[in-house]
Amino acid sequence: MSIWEFANPRNFMRISGRMLPWFAALAVLTLATGLIWGFFFTPDDYKQGATVKILFIHVPAAMMAINAWIMMLVTSLIWVIRRHHVSALAARAAAPAGLTFTLIALVTGALWGQPMWNTWWEWDPRLTSFLILCLFYLGYIALWSAIEDPEAAADLTGILCIVGSVFAVLSRYAVKFWNQGLHQDSTILKVGEEDPLDVAYYVPLVISIVGFVFFFIVIVLLRTRMLIRARRLIALEARERVG
Amino acid sequence: MELRVGNLAVSRGGLVVLEGVGFTLHPGRALVLRGANGIGKTTLLRTIAGLQPAVCGEISAAPECLAYASHADGLKAALSARANLSFWASVFGTGRDAAGAALERMELTGLQDRLAAQLSAGQKRRLGLARLLVTGRPVWLLDEPTVSLDQAAVALFAGVVRAHLAAGGSALIATHIDLGLDEAETLDLGAFRPRQLRPVAGGFGEAFDDATGALP
Amino acid sequence: MIALLLRDLTLAFRAGGGFGLGLAFFLLVAVLVPLGVGPESGILAIIAPGILWVGALLASLLSLDRIFALDHEDGSLDLLATAPLPLEGVVAIKALAHWLVTGLALTLVAPLLAVLLNLPAAGYPWLLLSLAVGTPALSVIGAFGATLTIGLRRGGLLLSLLVLPLYVPTLVFGAEVARRGAAGMALATPLALLAAITAGSLALLPFAAAAAIRVNLR
């Protein structure tokens, strides 16, 4: 079966409806395992104490905040190039989820940073980038809800997402240039190097990242199904009016 | 330049409002579009002008031969009548003299230095229509050209259209008022109304309108 | 093309065109900041490049929604779209007109306002240069943003929300050039990056903007 079969709303609803419970179960299982393991069965850090355990939420949320935008970029490109409506709605569905992940990453980061750096907020390049990402999400969501005609809204938000992606990457480098920052580098892919992430943290962290991915998939599927039903309602109302 | 439209379907708000529209407009002829309000006269003209995509069908004339005059006159209130017109003359590359000639034809020469803001509604409309003369394009697409014109101005404009036809141009006019053009045929758009309004194929409406049953 | 540029410039200078509003706003920022921050010249000297850049950015934001919304309202945008001009060219020309009446004017008055903010003498040429290189990007990015909100009746606020995140790289590099210039540091890298952003935006954004106009017209 071609992947474009999903683009048919009917097929999408059928297949996503069948897959949803499995993804939900996987999300609950991995999230629960990762978080419980991470919170209760890992040692305290010798420098950071128990505070370090917030990383089991902070790191996956931050990763998903970026991944959600990448997914929106891909689905926007699919809409602009191949005109599959479900793809446009999926991009719309992912935006609030991405915004929420961004906010979670910012808030948990503040909670983590307070005892570590002795400040709630620092104009560190990573923190600043996430704040800017948050603005990108807000603009995207606002544009979707401002335009009434769905075709125009999908086209214009698609253009915004594509152009915005370029500027988001530029902003990331600009902000890095602007301030070298306090935030520690990501250590997750540096196993074996000096000062790596402890193996005791590594496994539960990976499990909760997987859990966040499944959670994101569930949210996007649910919201896309909701948006498809809403479009169908509008289509049926239009039929009522003219029929 | 002949304008041939074949099996054209146009849409508004995601619904097909006219389908199977076909006609040929020969040089020197005019075609008057008639139909009730909301039937899709404006949509049809905008589609032919190339401002919105057709649902299906063909339009033979290249957009370079068409001059479109919409409800709005596109005038800048802060510019004089002459400046408004010379702007369009230079955009269409017809030169400075064209603007003066057009002002004279529409009997606006006396008002040429007034700001567009100070013109009456009918004078603004005449200025908006004078723009057609400076485009230098053969096929005119006119959307309710006589709105807010008095009787004398309607006769004046009918004369301008007649001269344009005599010079080998043609005009497609959506109007309720009889311009008194002998060269004009009439096309009633009521005949092209779809029996049942349906969403555009490939649009958002159609993608999610599944009449045969509920979504799983 | 030239006719369009001249028309837009004339309209900007005529009554109700909004020319001067941006400059007045820029002046207000330069006056209000010392009132808020305090008159200490040492502090003002440090923050002057940043304040001037933020002021210039907000001042050019002020008139963005006029670039296309007015033409859409009175129907000229329809007529321009059917005229023998490429829409990409229309966007570029309108962005240029916007730059001439805001960006260029802001660049020219910035040194005067820098006096109010006690900018160190070494900073003046670099402030001028950074604004001259950076403000064209502000105008063209803003013109792109304006095309997204053409069809909306109250698009102004939304437009700011869409455009401000896009302004981040320009602001960062532009203010960095001015700041380093004032502090007498090396500034070739941020200046090159600022110029790259301007050049890239000028080259590519008119195409995105023209696509957005076509979507809005249909």
- Compute φ and ψ for B45, nearest 5 degrees: -65, -40
* pLDDT per position as a tens digit, A120-131: 888 888 888 999
Would you say B89 and B67 are in contact if contact means Cβ atoms under 8 Å apart? Answer: no
B204 and A232 within 8 Å at the Cβ level: the answer is no
Would you say C42 and C131 are in contact if contact means Cβ atoms under 8 Å apart? Answer: no
Residue B172 above 60 pLDDT?
Answer: yes
Which residue does chain C place closest to B117, by CA atoms? C15
Which chain C residues are Cβ-neighbours of B68 within 8 angstroms? 78-79, 82
Tokens 């980038």, residue located:
A129
* pLDDT per position as a tens digit, C139-164: 999 999 999 999 887 788 899 999 99
Residue A193 above 50 pLDDT?
Answer: no
* pLDDT per position as a tens digit, A56-88: 999 999 999 999 999 999 999 999 998 888 899
Domain CATH code at residue B76:
3.40.50.300
Q: CA-to-CA distance for C60 and C22, rounded, in angstroms?
A: 6
CA distance C147 to chain B (A): 16
Probe site for chain C from A143, A157, A175, A180 (most C CB atoms < 10 A)? A143
Question: In whole angstroms, how far apart are CA B39 and each of A90, B174, B180, B198?
Answer: 35, 11, 23, 14
Residue C176 sits at the vertex; the CA angle it makes with C175 and C178, to the nearest 5 degrees, is 65
Among A187, A171, A188, residue whose Cα is nearest residue A127 = A171
Residue A183 above 70 pLDDT?
Answer: no
Q: CA-to-CA distance for C216 and B51, rounded, in angstroms?
A: 10
**pLDDT given for residue A192 in this prediction:** 44
B74 and C7 within 8 Å at the Cβ level: the answer is no
Check if C149 contacts A (Cβ < 8 Å): yes
Residue A144 above 90 pLDDT?
Answer: yes
**pLDDT given for residue C131 in this prediction:** 95
Q: Is C106 helix (H, G, I), strand (E, B) or coil?
A: helix
Q: Which of A83-97, A176-190, A195-209 has the highest mean pLDDT?
A: A83-97
Among A136, A143, A127, A144, residue whose Cα is nearest residue A163 = A136
A178 and C176 within 8 Å at the Cβ level: the answer is yes
Which chain C residues are Cβ-neighbours of B137 within 8 angstroms? none
Would you say A170 and A132 are in contact if contact means Cβ atoms under 8 Å apart? Answer: no
A97-101, A180-184, A236-240, C89-93: range with lowest mean pLDDT: A180-184
* Percentage with pLDDT > 70 across chain C: 98
Tokens, residue C147:
């095309």
The secondary structure element, H or E, covering residue A114 is helix A85-117
Q: CA-to-CA distance for A186 and A197, rounded, in angstroms?
A: 9
Q: Which of A42-56, A73-87, A90-104, B138-152 has the highest mean pLDDT?
A: A90-104
Contacts of A213 (CB under 8 A, 6+ apart): A64, A67
CA distance C89 to chain B (A): 12
Would you say B16 and B198 are in contact if contact means Cβ atoms under 8 Å apart? Answer: yes
Compute the mean pLDDT over every residue in chain A, rounded to the nearest whole number: 86
Would you say A122 and A131 are in contact if contact means Cβ atoms under 8 Å apart? Answer: no
Nearest by CB to residue A174, choosing from C144, C152, C172, is C172
Scored b (16 or more CB within 10 A) or e, B153-167 reads bbebbbebbbebbee
pLDDT bracket for residue B216 (50, 70, 90): low
Residue A222 above 90 pLDDT?
Answer: yes
Domain boundaries, chain A: 18-242
CA distance B44 to chain A (A): 19
Among C126, C131, C94, C138, residue whose Cα is nearest residue C109 = C131
Among C56, C64, C57, C58, residue whose Cα is nearest residue C109 = C56
Domain count, chain C: 1
Q: Which of residues 69-98 of C touch A (CB under 8 A)?
A: none
Q: Which domain holds residue B171?
A: 28-53+62-183
* pLDDT per position as a tens digit, C18-77: 677 888 999 999 999 999 988 888 888 889 999 999 999 999 898 888 888 888 888 889
Between strands B15-25 and B30-34, the pairing is: unpaired
**pLDDT given for residue A181 in this prediction:** 54
Check if B52 contacts A (Cβ < 8 Å): no
Tokens, residue B141:
């697409």
Ramachandran bin of B79, using left for φ above 0, alpha for ψ from -120 to 50, beta for the remaining angles: beta
**pLDDT given for residue C15 in this prediction:** 63
Q: What are residue B31's DSSP bridge partners? A: B172, B185
**pLDDT given for residue C215 in this prediction:** 92
Residue A208 above 80 pLDDT?
Answer: yes
Q: Is C36 helix (H, G, I), strand (E, B) or coil?
A: helix
**Helix B121-135 to helix B96-105 angle, to the nearest 10 degrees?**
130
Domain count, chain B: 1
Q: What are residue B18's DSSP bridge partners? A: B10
Tokens, residue C169:
């790289």
Q: What are residue B187's DSSP bridge partners? A: B33
Q: CA-to-CA distance for C54 and C171, rounded, in angstroms?
A: 7
